Amino acid sequence: MGDKANTHPGAAGRATAADHPASVRNVVLVGHSGSGKTTLVEALALTAGAVNRAGRVEDGGTVSDYDEIEHRQQRSVQLSLVPVEWDGFKINLLDTPGYADFVGELRAGLRAADAALFVVSASDGVDGSTRMVWEECAAVGMPRAIVVTHLEAARADFEEMTRVCAETFGGDDPDAVLPLYLPLHGPQGADGHAPVTGLVGLLSQKLFDYSSGERKESEPGPEQLPEMDDARNRLIEGIISESEDETLMDRYLGGEQIDVKTLIEDLERAVSRGVFFPVLAAAPAAEGARQGLGTVELLELITGGFPTPLEHTVPGVATVDGRPRELKPCDPNGPLVAEVVKTSSDPYVGRVSLVRVFSGTLRPDETVHVSGHGLADRGHEDHDVDEKIGALSTPFGKQQRPVTHAVAGDLACVAKLGRAETGDTLSAKDDPLLMEPWQMPDPLLPLAIEAHSKADEDKLSQGLGRLVAEDPTMRLEQNQNTHQVVLWCLGEAHADVALERLRNRYGVQVDVVPHKVSLRETFGGKAAGRGRHVKQSGGHGQYAICEIEVEPLPGGSGIEFVDKVVGGAVPRQFIPSVEKGVRTQAAKGVAAGYPLVDVRITLLDGKAHSVDSSDAAFQTAGALALREAAADAKIHLLEPVAEVSVLVGDDYVGAVMSDLSGRRGRVVGTEQVGSGRTLVRAEVPEFEIGRYAVDLRSLSHGTARFSRVYARHEPMPPQVAEKIREQVQEAS
């Protein structure tokens, strides 16, 4: 790693297609918004020679040339791939958004990567969402390392941040989170701050000075060695405790000096196995410099300590009819299995799919099978089609560089896949396969929209289809009860980006309207009504009279229609007409315009005329009878109630329960889930949780998650129902 001899020139030229999985490293960068992930990617690209000193690629643009939305948002909103080469290895750096609304992009990065680099700001510390992602990586055994950034901040303290990381990420074994280097400080400035100018390698006991803009190695002075002893001894013990050589600890405790080469090899194996998590420091290159502080050490960690794709367990694969299929891990000569981890639209080449190849080799102009991903409930159709792929390329900023192939373990961009969406599987057309989908968060913030004009209405359906094809965390709903088009998003920033993409990328202007909740009406007690529809205006008239009784039924019963007419007062052929009339009126509502449910309507009596009675007349009479019954009865408004489950840290349980109670919620139980987490279960009216996704994030500092499932409709409190009726009257 950084303690190896620096035998390469430090610049490896432009990224090319990898020839074998062993020469590929796929690394996802994780960290909160503002931690410095994108800046770190740019620094690594500069050190690897992929960009020049101005930070620009050879054919124009920079590695941070993302879409205009990101510039306006002033934050990353999507996953981006930056491939670089170092010491004969191709490194695919996956830069992920740090803001919680774009966690779907983060999950896609985790799916495509074999190891994770957690970026922590020395000035901001570790936030709750970063801790949650660390736990997710730990659950699947993903190898991880930690990079401390923003060391130039006035109050930055690398040693203190290392202690915080060990406490936060180490769990029961804080000695598994230890620094490989200590910062080397320059002269103290007038403000009392001594800038970090280099690093001290704890294993090699070498100094790596970056003050000239390029890494220079030297020997430490005698006065510096004692300062390193404690940290060095602790690092050696941490490495040895994770060594697969069980004799090493006894030899070390017996006073034997363990060879540095042996320690580095054991360190690399421990990192690759996901049992040791080194802490490093990094900073961007100063203006005119060729290397940023700590970037060489990071690149050597990635190539030497992070696993190859050959060591990555392939997600479950099955045939399209559900039969499990065993595959050799990451075999370039095996059956083709690749997955679309990101979909984007380019104004010139159309849809572009970022693909991770898990088996086989992907080549341009092949016909592949596209298998669906099981997200039909979110507006994403399942696919089972053949498509011819276009050119293969590797991205760099806004540039697309052609490649001849993509072997198992590599990532590439595929053009002209018109049907494939994020999460879809690409396989051989004569051997179609399907990968199990990765976990996606549920979008729980509703955004109701309407086309701004007739021209927008014509383009809305296509624009929405393209929008959800790019983003599997978004759900498109055409609500049959409220007749609204609803985009379900992860948060306000997610919603803002969706609207901006509709407007600027797809040319569709929409208006945001209040989200409607599906209310119902029911009778509070028995009531009777008489419907009389009698008209005579020359020729055949209209004559129908019916008498009904309405009584409430238990929730979920729907509408029952009962015929108790005796003596033929209403002829047999017109009884279905009465039923159709009352059911039509029930669907329209009888008080505030919401569907009537959970009642029994009994036809008791009526009158007919031998000439003037008709189907239409009795339909009208049935509707009039139901309206009259409602006029004399107490009508309840029913609101939907959701079963809400909130997974929250113990520190916030009280605040969450209090907040739920303030939303007219009923807490029905709590249970401990793992260490320091509690699951709170409650029943809450859906009226009160429209913005709960936003409010809960604020309440818990981004550490809580919740899910919701429709439970039932139940009567609204009278004062709330009265406000709804007043709003309906004002609107009419």
pLDDT at 13 over 50: no
Amino acid at position 237, single letter: E
C-alpha separations of 721 from 519, 521, 550, 639, 724 in Å: 10, 11, 21, 9, 5
Two structure tokens written together for 180: 């490989």
Report the pLDDT value the prediction gives residue 94, as an integer from 0 to 100. 96
Amino acid at position 151, single letter: L
601-648: pLDDT as tens digits: 999 999 999 889 999 999 999 999 999 999 989 999 999 999 999 999
C-alpha separations of 441 from 88, 108, 142, 378, 474 in Å: 37, 11, 20, 12, 9
DSSP helix/strand/coil, 679? strand
CA distance 90 to 357: 15
Burial class (CB in 10 A: 0-12, 13-18, 19+), 569: middle
CATH number of 638-731: 3.30.70.240
Report the pLDDT value the prediction gives residue 636, as an integer from 0 to 100. 94
Amino acid at position 131, single letter: R
DSSP helix/strand/coil, 147? strand
CA distance 659 to 648: 13
Question: pLDDT above 90 covers what percent of the chain?
Answer: 61
CA distance 522 to 520: 7
pLDDT band per the 50, 70, 90 thresholds, residue 312? confident
Q: Which CATH number fits domain 445-513: 3.30.70.870, 3.30.365.10, 3.30.910.20, 1.10.10.10?
A: 3.30.70.870
Average pLDDT, the chain: 88
Backbone angles phi, psi at 339, to 5 degrees: -130, 135
Backbone angles phi, psi at 580, to 5 degrees: -65, -40
Element of type H or E holding 119: strand 115-121
Where in the chain do CATH 3.30.70.870 domains reside?
445-513
Angle between helices 295-305 and 37-47 (to 10 degrees): 90
Report the pLDDT value the prediction gives residue 565, as an integer from 0 to 100. 93
DSSP helix/strand/coil, 426? strand
Q: What's the average model confidence in pLDDT over 312-326? A: 88
CA distance 614 to 617: 5
Q: Are 457 and 505 in contact (CB under 8 A)?
A: no
Report the pLDDT value the prediction gives residue 374, as an integer from 0 to 100. 59
Alpha helix (H) residue ranges in 242-351 = 247-253, 260-273, 295-305
DSSP helix/strand/coil, 60? coil
CA distance 254 to 327: 46
Q: Cβ neighbours of residue 71 under 8 Å, at least 6 residues apart?
A: none
Element of type H or E holding 475: strand 475-478
pLDDT band per the 50, 70, 90 thresholds, residue 320? confident
**3-state helix/strand/coil string of 71-129:** HHHCCCCCCEEEEEEECCEEEEEEECCCCHHHHHHHHHHHHHCCEEEEEEECCCECCHH
pLDDT band per the 50, 70, 90 thresholds, residue 59? very low
pLDDT at 62 over 60: no
Q: Are 294 and 201 in contact (CB under 8 A)?
A: no
CA distance 698 to 705: 12
Angle at 244 between CA 239 and CA 250, to 5 degrees: 70
CA distance 106 to 253: 43
Tokens 């408004």, residue located: 637
Q: What's the average model confidence in pLDDT over 690-717? A: 93
705 CB neighbour count, 10 Å cutoff: 20
Higher local confidence (pLDDT), 290 or 324: 324
Report the pLDDT value the prediction gives residue 662, as an integer from 0 to 100. 95
CA distance 675 to 257: 39
Chain centroid offset of residue 634 CA: 46
- Strands 277-281 and 705-715, bridge-based pairing: unpaired
Classified by CATH at the fold level, domain 520-633 comes out as Ribosomal Protein S5; domain 2 (3.30.230)
Where in the chain do CATH 3.30.70.240 domains reside?
638-731
Where in the chain do CATH 3.30.230.10 domains reside?
520-633
Two structure tokens written together for 146: 């930690």
85-108: pLDDT as tens digits: 999 999 999 999 988 888 889 999
Q: Are 179 and 278 in contact (CB under 8 A)?
A: yes
For the chain, give percent helix, strand, coil, nearest 5.
30, 30, 40
pLDDT at 52 over 90: no
Q: What's the average model confidence in pLDDT over 345-369? A: 88
pLDDT at 288 over 90: no
pLDDT at 53 over 90: no
CA distance 30 to 42: 15
Q: Which residues pair with 542 in a beta bridge?
A: 535
Amino acid at position 110, single letter: L
Give the gyration radius of the chain's Cα atoms. Answer: 33
Where in the chain do CATH 3.40.50.300 domains reside?
21-182+267-311
- Strands 350-359 and 337-346, bridge-based pairing: antiparallel
Q: Cβ neighbours of residue 231 under 8 Å, at least 6 residues apart?
A: 178, 179, 182, 202
513-555: pLDDT as tens digits: 999 999 999 999 999 999 999 997 766 789 999 999 999 999 8
CA distance 326 to 430: 17
DSSP helix/strand/coil, 196? strand
**3-state helix/strand/coil string of 545-572:** EEEEEEEECCCCCCEEEEECCCCCCCCH
pLDDT at 596 over 70: yes
* Domain 317-435 = CATH 3.40.50.2300: no
178-236: pLDDT as tens digits: 999 999 887 776 666 778 889 999 998 999 999 888 899 999 888 777 778 889 999 99
Report the pLDDT value the prediction gives residue 60, as an integer from 0 to 100. 45
Closest CA to 706 of 614, 629, 642: 642
- Strands 411-415 and 406-407, bridge-based pairing: unpaired
CA distance 240 to 146: 20
Q: Cβ neighbours of residue 465 under 8 Å, at least 6 residues apart?
A: 379
CA distance 535 to 169: 81
pLDDT at 54 over 50: no
Tokens 């045939």, residue located: 319
Q: Which residues pair with 712 in a beta bridge?
A: 641
Angle at 281 between CA 278 and CA 284, to 5 degrees: 140
Amino acid at position 254, single letter: G
Higher local confidence (pLDDT), 720 or 65: 720
CA distance 398 to 460: 27
371-388: pLDDT as tens digits: 876 566 655 566 688 999
Two structure tokens written together for 676: 């320091």
Tokens 């989170």, residue located: 177
Two structure tokens written together for 246: 């069980």
CATH number of 21-182+267-311: 3.40.50.300
